[in-house]
């Protein structure tokens, strides 16, 4: 006679678990459509959750990286909305406010300043499609961004008024090479491609550069600037410097730390709402699995009773039902995580189209840890969803199912 | 020591205001190795009695001893062990798990008693009920009589002392029914079988006739 108190060997335990799983899988196969639908529901919610968390991580990382890669410590602009200024910095938007060149001369005199670079940003229609950012720059622009190197070509020729340097993506998009014509349709003037930058992973990749003076003339804003990038000799003196610049009328100082905080705040708010959506999706999935399992328990009342009659304990019945919910959710988690990984590129593009401030780089970053976390959460959901149905099944009174 | 002993065994079902005495003051003694048939019309209380003996249900009053153990004194876990180790159950409608093969169905009680290392018993039992060639089949691929034979193998796999069979031939034609009874007769253990087929009952060692919940 088998003795229940007898210690099971590890091999014996594995065998039991294996048999349990096999019973569960066969049960799931019996209701293929229902199982598939329930698994899809879980997969969907896990996919949404993992993608959103991946977006949070990726967006943050690329945001910080993009800001670091601006090269300036400080941007001086004319007074306006700080969000607008942030937009301007991150992806270019038109700030319709300009400041005089005189301000630049004043800043240059400041003892803390190491390098400055004057910027003139405008947006134009290029060819036929949409608007592109045109930025007027001067030589010190490259000093600010030592990583910005030429893939082909070189810096503007002395006094040239019809030359452009293209960001990496612009050149790739329009299939332009050195010496090609580059019409700026909005200005009715055709330029020649003088240089093409290497990929920098920042907004510079999508920008068309012209000499500062040319930009001012094109937009008919002689002696005007949209911004001045400043690098300090000693970053720790940033507060004193800001205070001094603040004295200059109608000028605002945007430190990169500030920009970072502003954008991360914005991201935080968005993530709160997105997170709520994700949690609701997960809750719906859990309820869906729970519902499926309750129906399964109801349908199988007699079968569960027979199992009890042939020796299943309440714990066994509970474990069987829970394992079924667990299997559904884990399968859903693996499928959902997989879809999220495969779809992260597409999700990045979708986000790029929707969000206001989109840094360059991979937006939806799903690493191994996040993936495993998502699957583990799905498995946890399964156990959660199995508790009530499993408890119900284990409580069925034997003679109720004998009838 | 008797295999089964009952004194004044009573089971009353309460349904709102109504009380139904399905079993009332039943006395009986069944010795180890006996093959006993419980007979009686439908509603006489046969199922109720077998459920009590099988520890699937608890008596309202009276004494019930299985293998010398007072069932009334057993708590949930011990009742489970009693069901799992000492009693095998066969139902009228076989009650095989439809998703599992013949072999897996027979092995299922071993899973619940954590005795999968005894799986060689499954093949032996299938051979004893004459289904050694059907072990990979699903229940729906078998005839009623064959399914019932699988159910008998399943009831015996944990090597119980007592086998309970509630109208095991109720869904079978007389030829298949006879085969089942013949098969049970060959098993050397205490068997309590309920039936309202008197021909089959006559092949038992002894008959206990129930009417309206009492032994007559
Ligand atoms: N769960 C129950 N609730 C109420 N009455 C029941 C229940 N089970 C059985 N009965 C009643 O008890 C009596 C005996 O039933 P049962 O033991 O099933 O008889 P048999 O198996 O001999 O046909 C019948 O009158 C039946 O209606
Ligand atoms: Mg009956």
Q: CA A310: distance to chain centroid?
A: 54
Cβ contacts of A4 on chain B, cutoff 8 Å = 81, 84-85, 113-114
pLDDT in tens, B204-213: 999 999 999 9
Please state the rounded mean pLDDT for residues A18-26. Answer: 82
Distance CA A222, CA A81 (A): 24
Mutate to test the pocket of ligand 1, among B48, B164, B194 (most ligand atoms within 8 A of CB): B48
Residue A321 has pLDDT above 70, yes or no: yes
DSSP readout, A103-159? HHHHHHT-TTEEEEEEEEEEEEE-SSSSEEEEEEE-THHHHH-TT--EEEE-SPPTT
For residue A127, is it left (φ>0), alpha (ψ between -120 and 50) or beta? left
Please state the rounded mean pLDDT for residues A121-148. Answer: 78
Q: How far is A317 from chain B (nearest CA, A)?
A: 10
Ligand with smallest separation from the Cα of A403? 1
Cβ contacts of B118 on chain A, cutoff 8 Å = 2
pLDDT in tens, A212-231: 999 888 888 888 898 899 98
For residue A290, is it left (φ>0), alpha (ψ between -120 and 50) or beta? alpha
A334, containing H or E segment: helix A314-342
Q: What pLDDT was estimated at residue A22? A: 83
For residue B75, is it left (φ>0), alpha (ψ between -120 and 50) or beta? beta
Identify the three-state secondary structure at position B206: strand
Q: What pLDDT was estimated at residue B106? A: 94
Contact between B165 and B192 under an 8 Å Cβ cutoff? The reply is yes
- Whose CA is closest to atom 18 on ligand 1? B47
pLDDT in tens, B95-107: 898 889 999 999 9
Confidence band, pLDDT 50/70/90 cuts, at residue A4: very low
Residue B158 has pLDDT above 50, yes or no: yes
Write the CB contacts of A193 (distance below 8 Å, at least 6 apart in sequence). Answer: A153, A163, A164, A165, A166, A171, A176, A177, A178, A179, A180, A181, A182
Confidence band, pLDDT 50/70/90 cuts, at residue A86: low
Query: What sign for the dihedral angle of Cα A347, A353, A357, A362?
Result: positive
Angle of CA points B205, B198, B4, to nearest 5°: 40
Burial class (CB in 10 A: 0-12, 13-18, 19+), A246: exposed
Distance CA A29, CA A22 (A): 11
Q: Which of B81, B112, B117 is facing A310, going by the closest CB pair?
A: B112
Q: Cβ contact (<8 Å) for B112 and A399? A: no
Please state the rounded mean pLDDT for residues A126-144. Answer: 78
Distance CA A226, CA A100 (A): 9
Write the CB contacts of B88 (distance below 8 Å, at least 6 apart in sequence). Answer: A310, B154, B155, B156, B158, B160, B162, B163, B164
Better-scored residue on pLDDT, B208 or A279: B208
Please state the rounded mean pLDDT for residues B191-209. Answer: 92
Residue A5 has pLDDT above 60, yes or no: no
Please state the rounded mean pLDDT for residues B169-196. Answer: 88
- Whose CA is closest to atom 5 on ligand 1? B13
Q: What pLDDT was estimated at residue A2? A: 41
Distance CA A313, CA B48 (A): 21
């Amino acid at each position: 006679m088998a003795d229940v108190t007898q210690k099971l060997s590890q091999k014996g335990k594995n065998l039991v678990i294996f048999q349990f799983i096999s019973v569960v899988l066969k049960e799931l196969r019996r209701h293929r459509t229902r199982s598939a639908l329930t698994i899809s529901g879980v997969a969907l919610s896990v996919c949404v959750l993992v993608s959103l968390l991946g977006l949070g991580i990726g967006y943050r990382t690329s945001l910080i990286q993009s800001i670091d890669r601006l090269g300036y410590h400080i941007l001086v602009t004319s007074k306006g909305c700080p969000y607008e200024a942030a937009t301007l910095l991150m992806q270019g938007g038109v700030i319709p406010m300009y400041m005089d060149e005189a301000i630049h001369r004043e800043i240059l005199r400041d003892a803390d300043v190491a390098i400055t670079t004057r910027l003139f940003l405008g947006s134009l229609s290029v060819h036929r499609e949409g608007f592109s950012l045109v930025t007027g720059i001067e030589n010190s622009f490259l000093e600010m961004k030592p990583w910005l190197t030429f893939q082909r070509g070189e810096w503007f020729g002395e006094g040239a008024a019809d030359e452009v340097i293209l960001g990496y993506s612009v050149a790739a998009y329009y299939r332009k090479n050195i010496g090609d014509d580059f019409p700026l349709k909005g200005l009715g003037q055709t330029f020649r491609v003088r240089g093409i930058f290497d990929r920098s992973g920042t907004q510079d990749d999508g920008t068309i550069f012209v000499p500062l003076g040319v930009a001012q003339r094109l937009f008919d804003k002689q002696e005007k600037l949209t911004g001045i990038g400043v690098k300090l000799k000693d970053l720790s003196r940033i507060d004193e410097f800001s205070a001094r610049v603040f004295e200059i009328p109608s000028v605002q100082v945007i430190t990169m730390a500030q920009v970072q905080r502003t954008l991360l705040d914005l991201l935080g708010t968005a993530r709160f709402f997105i997170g709520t959506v994700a949690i609701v999706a997960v809750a719906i999935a859990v309820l869906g699995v729970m519902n499926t399992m309750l129906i399964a328990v109801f349908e199988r009342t007699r079968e569960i009773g027979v199992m009890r009659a042939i020796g299943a304990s309440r714990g066994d019945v509970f474990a069987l039902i829970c394992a079924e919910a667990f299997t559904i959710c884990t399968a859903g988690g693996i499928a959902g995580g997989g879809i999220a990984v495969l779809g992260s590129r597409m999700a990045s593009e979708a986000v790029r189209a929707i969000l206001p401030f989109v840094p360059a780089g991979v937006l939806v970053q799903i690493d191994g840890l996040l993936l495993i976390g998502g699957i583990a959460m799905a498995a946890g959901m399964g156990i959660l969803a199995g508790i009530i149905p499993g408890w119900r099944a284990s409580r069925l009174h034997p003679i109720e199912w004998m009838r | 020591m008797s295999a089964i002993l009952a004194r004044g065994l009573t089971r009353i079902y309460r349904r709102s205001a109504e009380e139904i005495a399905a079993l009332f003051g039943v006395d009986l003694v069944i010795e180890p190795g006996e093959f006993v048939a419980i007979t009686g019309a439908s509603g006489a209380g046969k199922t109720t009695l077998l459920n009590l003996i099988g520890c699937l249900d608890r008596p309202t009053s009276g004494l019930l001893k299985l293998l010398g153990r007072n069932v009334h004194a057993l708590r949930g876990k011990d009742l489970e062990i009693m069901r799992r180790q000492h009693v095998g159950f066969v139902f009228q409608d076989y009650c095989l798990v439809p998703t599992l093969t013949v072999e897996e169905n027979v092995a299922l009680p071993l899973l619940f008693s954590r005795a999968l290392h005894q799986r060689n018993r499954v093949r032996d039992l299938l051979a004893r009920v004459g289904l050694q060639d059907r072990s990979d089949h699903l229940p729906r691929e078998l005839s009623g009589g064959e399914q019932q034979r699988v159910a008998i193998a399943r009831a015996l796999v944990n090597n119980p002392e007592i086998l309970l069979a509630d109208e095991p031939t109720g869904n079978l034609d007389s030829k298949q029914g006879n085969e089942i009874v013949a098969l049970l007769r060959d098993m050397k253990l205490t068997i309590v079988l309920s039936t309202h087929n008197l021909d089959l009952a006559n092949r038992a060692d002894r008959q206990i006739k129930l009417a309206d919940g009492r032994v007559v």
